[in-house]
Structure 1
Amino acid sequence: MEDERHNIEVALVDKELMHIVFGFLRFTDLASISAVCRASEVTRVLIRGRVLSIGTVGHAGLGYCLLDPAPMQWRMISALASETIVHIATTPEKYDRHHTLAVTHSGAVYAFGDYADGKLGLGHTTGISYTPQIVSALLSEKIIKTIGSNDSVKPFIVDLWCGRAVTLLLDSEGTLYSFGVSSSLGRADSRSGRPLPLQFPAGVKIKSAAMGYNHGLAITTQGEVYSWGSGVHGRLGHGDEQDANAPRLISALASAKATQVACGPEHSLVLTEDNTLYTFGRVLKGQLGYVEGAVESVPWVVEDVAGLGVISAISAAAGQSAVLFESGRVMGLGCGELKKENWLVPAQLVAGEDSVFLVC
């Protein structure tokens, strides 16, 4: 693991603020990396089932209590060292009450960070958990299933996402659960400390999702896109600014066959199987290709990325959007790399010429 650690390289483009505007990860054994997630002052990398983190001293998202102001370096989260982690997720950047969740290959879920709003699922609403704790409520809710004649354990949770005050969990049967405190829970009640299903129409199965600060997007197995939460500035894509307590089908994308979704604080991205990129919401820094202050409440096509190649990943954050192509090229919209300019048309990032992960 020590050799692997030295091969990790993340571009910190705004070192004074300890903020990663765009992160690019390179690793000699690319097959070993399965996930990257970051908050404003912490980055975590999942390598061969082990989680490494780097960040500001004392930050709750490190996964360990580090008070010594030593130079930043990659450290393994020792509390998870005996587990094989398959998924990790963290709160969107620029939010000071971070929380992180991780799922093991056996289906157990660990959480750490800020307890606020009950979003860790650990039964507390105040304080901080600096080290990962197993979410026992998920065990009692039978989120882990025992199947087969040999009593082998199958992970019931297959993916997860973190919003500002909400955690989403996707199970192997296509059911999306949420817990925390927010209108983005995706159901009538706005507070729940235990996982409950979102209120999708009967028969709808989910294959992927994304969370912003106060809104969420989900892709069904049929490629339809649903949105819910705060509708301010048109971030839900329904042509209005109405909130949606329950998931609502984005009619403009009903036949688009979505493959990926991403959420920034006030805007959304949708990628379809025909390689078309849609975006909608509020323009803070030009991240939709519009002038600052503009609002687009229905999905529109980002024509400037058409013809540039096959898109393999999309990402969104505060004031910025980014696209990773199969060629390894990265194009950005919104904040410049050093926050000195805003891009109203996609600009290639110099650091992103041979990238394998996109972290925005």
Structure 2
Amino acid sequence: MPRKKAAAAAAWEEPSSGNGTARAGPRKRGGPAGRKRERPERCSSSSGGGSSGDEDGLELDGTPGGGKRAARPAAAGKAGGAAVVITEPEHTKERVKLEGSKCKGQLLIFGATNWDLIGRKEVPKQQAAYRNLGQNLWGPHRYGCLAGVRVRTVVSGSCAAHSLLITTEGKLWSWGRNEKGQLGHGDTKRVEAPRLIEGLSHEVIVSAACGRNHTLALTETGSVFAFGENKMGQLGLGNQTDAVPSPAQIMYNGQPITKMACGAEFSMIMDCKGNLYSFGCPEYGQLGHNSDGKFIARAQRIEYDCELVPRRVAIFIEKTKDGQILPVPNVVVRDVACGANHTLVLDSQKRVFSWGFGGYGRLGHAEQKDEMVPRLVKLFDFPGRGASQIYAGYTCSFAVSEVGGLFFWGATNTSRESTMYPKAVQDLCGWRIGSLACGKSSIIVAADESTISWGPSPTFGELVSCHLRESGEVEPVRVALGLWVLSTSLPKHTEEKHLGDSPPLIVLRSAAQLSPMSFQGQFCASQIILSHLCTFVLKIGTFSDPVSPCIL
């Protein structure tokens, strides 16, 4: 039986930002609000389809005898228009001092490292000088510039071709593609090896997030700095510009931020009270504000009414078997994860909500329809079936249940059948999942004392090894590194067969922090990050430390 829900929530909120700042003023249509975009194709084997323009809005409507309020489709709202500024009661802003990861170690990298070629058929003309720079690393390598640097956290994203690391002193380093200033060094020059971001040297950074061409950094006091591409307002600075190459604080004056996540062209932040805010491109309803923001600027040109400052995600819903839409009240967000065009959240009751682009079943609702507001994933709304961890890949999603089972939905290989709702990953049944990293098509899992990877071909060293079953499906295999991994992450994957993924990032844990036990490898990993076609390992302690080749 589903968990008992409280009385229905009050009426849905007005379009104020809810973050302590007024929303940006009205913007003329046809200006720099957006650009013409092509919609990604959907899996042809499944029922359902994209949301129509008639389903942009929802209105609450009373239902007899239920005690709840249902919602029904309403006419699509007009894009643009004057912003309504609502004066909200002031609340005391809390003071926090956030702490980052307790790990500290060294960084290993393997996979593709030609940052400007990743995800493309060829290197852009303006980057022609780097055409042959960067190779596929088929085994663990180290950066020579990080000798003696103790790394706490390493960060990338399934859409990203750049990466970040945070040292034990709270300093942020970046490297990789930099065409929009997403590395934060004040320029747009590609950076081959990790380099300190001088603009944040006076701050203590505890966390960060990478979008396709933008970056967010979180300080220990709960402030957020952003840099990189801002065409769709994904930096939350209150304006739209092509690039912001130096760190700038976002326009937000609410409670301190504790977690962040980035999609391709949008961003999510969560405050210490469990409220979620979003900003950037509203395409597919990925911001969760009950609209895709689409309007026709002029003939044959579609643009988007972007959110330029953080705006609270106020509505969470569930859909019943008979099609009723019911509000879910009292949602306190505990975690957030973003794919390219979709978002997952985990709340305090271990429920999972998803919204955004529904292609390939990545939302887990057994249909491919876009969701404009967070919708409850029913599988995790039963006693003993709640989720403890969530992860979002480029076109897929994962969740770890409270009893330790790993569930998957969506697609890692879009040429094969999609998984339209959460299904248990039988190959990992019985493993204790510590962390997981998703790229565009590659997956790495830290389970027990092992690192397990799988993904469709071609791969370029980011998974180290992989086996094919007789059916042609990819079989998860233990990575032959002997890494003891505590957390993982994967950057993005390319669609071109001759190109490589960004390297996974792996953090290795210190021997001083380990209890005596048998390891099959030579070192222990505490964190793995996967970007597009590359893996990074944060290595903290060694037993018989291998001499990893040194690059740069």
TM-score (norm 2): 0.54
Secondary structure of the structure 2 residue equivalent to 1:118: coil
- CA distance in structure 1 between the aligned counterparts of 2:288 and 2:355, rounded to whole angstroms: 6
The one-letter code of the counterpart of 1:157 is I
> 8 Å contact 1:24–1:355 — kept in the other structure?
no
**Which one of the candidate residues 377, 382, 393 is aligned to 1:250?**
377
The one-letter code of the counterpart of 2:337 is A
Higher relative contact order (CA 8 A, sep 6+): 2
> 8 Å contact 1:335–1:342 — kept in the other structure?
no
Q: Percent identity?
A: 26
Deviations 1:328-357 (A, max 9, x none): x22112146427977522122234623211
Deviations 1:114-172 (A, max 9, x none): 0121010112323111111111x21xxx224xxxxxxxxxxx11000001121101111
- CA distance in structure 1 between the aligned counterparts of 2:276 and 2:308, rounded to whole angstroms: 15
The CA RMSD over aligned residues, in Å, is 2.9
**Which one of the candidate residues 454, 468, 476 is aligned to 1:346?**
476
- CA distance in structure 2 between the aligned counterparts of 1:216 and 1:23, rounded to whole angstroms: 33
Give the unaligned 5+ runs of structure 1.
1-6, 145-155, 286-291
**Which one of the candidate residues 442, 461, 465 is aligned to 1:320?**
442
Residue 32 of structure 1 and its aligned partner are, at CA, apart by: 5.5
Moved more, 335-344 or 316-325: 335-344
Correspondences of 1:268-287 after superposition (within 5 Å): 268-284=397-413
Name 2:167's counterpart in structure 1: 47
- CA distance in structure 1 between the aligned counterparts of 2:273 and 2:139, rounded to whole angstroms: 33
> 8 Å contact 1:121–1:179 — kept in the other structure?
yes
Secondary structure of the structure 2 residue equivalent to 1:252: helix
> 8 Å contact 1:186–1:246 — kept in the other structure?
yes
Residue 36 of structure 1 and its aligned partner are, at CA, apart by: 2.5
**Which one of the candidate residues 195, 217, 222 is aligned to 1:107?**
222
Question: Is 1:305 matched with 2:428?
Answer: yes
Residue 282 of structure 1 and its aligned partner are, at CA, apart by: 2.3
- CA distance in structure 1 between the aligned counterparts of 2:149 and 2:332, rounded to whole angstroms: 31
- CA distance in structure 1 between the aligned counterparts of 2:161 and 2:186, rounded to whole angstroms: 15
Correspondences of 1:53-92 after superposition (within 5 Å): 53-56=174-177, 60-65=181-186, 72-91=192-211
Secondary structure of the structure 1 residue equivalent to 2:455: strand
The one-letter code of the counterpart of 1:51 is L
Paired residues, number? 325
Residue 265 of structure 1 and its aligned partner are, at CA, apart by: 2.0
User: Are residues 189 and 22 of structure 1, via their aligned partners in 2, closer, same or farther at CA, if it must alter by over 3 Å?
Assistant: farther
- CA distance in structure 2 between the aligned counterparts of 1:283 and 1:175, rounded to whole angstroms: 30
**Structure of higher CA gyration radius:** 2
Name 2:258's counterpart in structure 1: 158
Give the unaligned 5+ runs of structure 2.
1-104, 119-135, 293-305, 317-327, 469-473, 484-523, 531-552
Structure with more strand by fraction: 1
- CA distance in structure 2 between the aligned counterparts of 1:160 and 1:73, rounded to whole angstroms: 25
Structure with more helix by fraction: 1
Residue 281 of structure 1 and its aligned partner are, at CA, apart by: 0.9
Name 1:152's counterpart in structure 2: none
The one-letter code of the counterpart of 2:240 is T
TM-score (norm 1): 0.81
Moved more, 295-304 or 248-257: 248-257
Deviations 1:7-56 (A, max 9, x none): 74331312346759999899999996145335643210112311011224
> 8 Å contact 1:237–1:298 — kept in the other structure?
yes
Question: Is 1:13 matched with 2:13?
Answer: no
Secondary structure of the structure 1 residue equivalent to 2:227: strand
**Which one of the candidate residues 187, 191, 207 is aligned to 2:289?**
187
Residue 268 of structure 1 and its aligned partner are, at CA, apart by: 0.7
User: Are residues 313 and 341 of structure 1, via their aligned partners in 2, closer, same or farther at CA, if it must alter by over 3 Å?
Assistant: closer
Residue 271 of structure 1 and its aligned partner are, at CA, apart by: 1.0
The one-letter code of the counterpart of 2:330 is G
Correspondences of 1:165-204 after superposition (within 5 Å): 165-182=265-282, 183-190=285-292, 191-198=306-313, 199-200=315-316, 201-204=328-331
- CA distance in structure 1 between the aligned counterparts of 2:376 and 2:141, rounded to whole angstroms: 35
Name 2:452's counterpart in structure 1: 331
Name 2:55's counterpart in structure 1: none
The one-letter code of the counterpart of 1:15 is T
User: Are residues 15 and 105 of structure 1, via their aligned partners in 2, closer, same or farther at CA, if it must alter by over 3 Å?
Assistant: closer
**Which one of the candidate residues 209, 214, 219 is aligned to 2:341?**
214
- CA distance in structure 2 between the aligned counterparts of 1:25 and 1:172, rounded to whole angstroms: 38
> 8 Å contact 1:233–1:297 — kept in the other structure?
yes
Deviations 1:38-97 (A, max 9, x none): 564321011231101122465622110456778x33211010000011221111xxx4xx
> 8 Å contact 2:110–2:141 — kept in the other structure?
no
